[in-house]
Amino acid sequence: MSFHASILTLFPDMFPGTLAHSLAGSALKDGKWSFDAVDIRSFATDKHRTVDDHVAGGGAGMVLKPDILAKAIDGTSHKGPRLLMSPRGAPLTQSFVRELAQGEGCMIICGRFEGIDQRVIDARSLQEVSVGDYVLSGGEPAALVMLDAIVRLLPGVMGHDQSHAEESFEDGLLEHPHYTKPRLWEGLETPEILGSGDHKAIAAWKHAQREALTKARRPDLYDKYTKRKG
């Protein structure tokens, strides 16, 4: 089983973008995941292929028309949930990414302008997802971010489950610092414990570092972690 993403966008040429390279690109070539980028504008029926209109009630910007977007959604086959990239959506988390990676795929809708008509969100049961507390020019960069996070967790993409077992957010903590050769660089040494060969002590050091970093940099995560830990 491979993961398939059906992406609805006004700019299909933006895909696969960066996902054509590195791990995601190799996985795409190997058939571990696939995608189709559907042009929303192709569902417009007037001679100008209009997809947006003025904001009801007044205000700046334009809004994607409900009839056109609904046709695009209904006319595109997909697997899994229908996700709308939106700055007002629920924050994208590692646990949600892992949940998606365990499925067969999803539909990703990339908004533009001021957004999309709320009636489409309600009528087509779209799940809004945000990649951060900031506003982008469109949902395409956010979709690429989410897909990258999903693809790297697909079976066989990273090659070894241990590669991501201790990564940031996997268990509620940030990742520990990493070091490599040379052991001494610009007067700075690799921590002595990492060369001790004592795997139990090394694991304890890494965990302590993760706790300390999370507490200092993400107290919100650390608070959740300590509550789960009991």
* Residues 87-118: tens digit of each pLDDT: 999 999 999 999 999 999 999 999 998 899 99
Q: Indicate the average pLDDT of the chain.
A: 93
- Domains, the chain, with CATH or none: 3-151 (3.40.1280.10), 167-229 (1.10.1270.20)
Per-residue confidence (pLDDT) for residue 60, from 0 to 100:
86
Per-residue confidence (pLDDT) for residue 161, from 0 to 100:
54
**What sign results for the dihedral spanned by CA atoms 181, 187, 191, 192?**
positive
Range 128-143 average pLDDT: 96
Instruction: Return the residue matching tokens 């940030």.
Output: 174
How is the chain classified by DSSP, letter by letter? --EEEEEEES-GGGSSGGGGSHHHHHHHHTTSEEEEEEEGGGG--STT---EEEPTTS-SSEEE-HHHHHHHHHTS---S-EEEEEEEEEEP-HHHHHHHHTSSEEEEEE--TT-B-HHHHHHTT-EEEESSSS--SSSHHHHHHHHHHHHTTSTTTSS-THHHHTSTTSSSSPPPP---S-SEETTEE--GGGGS--HHHHHHHHHHHHHHHHHHH-HHHHHHHHHHH-
With a cut of 60, say whether residue 166 has pLDDT above it.
no
CA distances in angstroms from 72 to 65, 67, 89, 229, listed in the order given: 11, 9, 21, 45
pTM to 2 decimals?
Answer: 0.88
Helices 94-101 and 140-151, axial angle in degrees (round to 10): 70
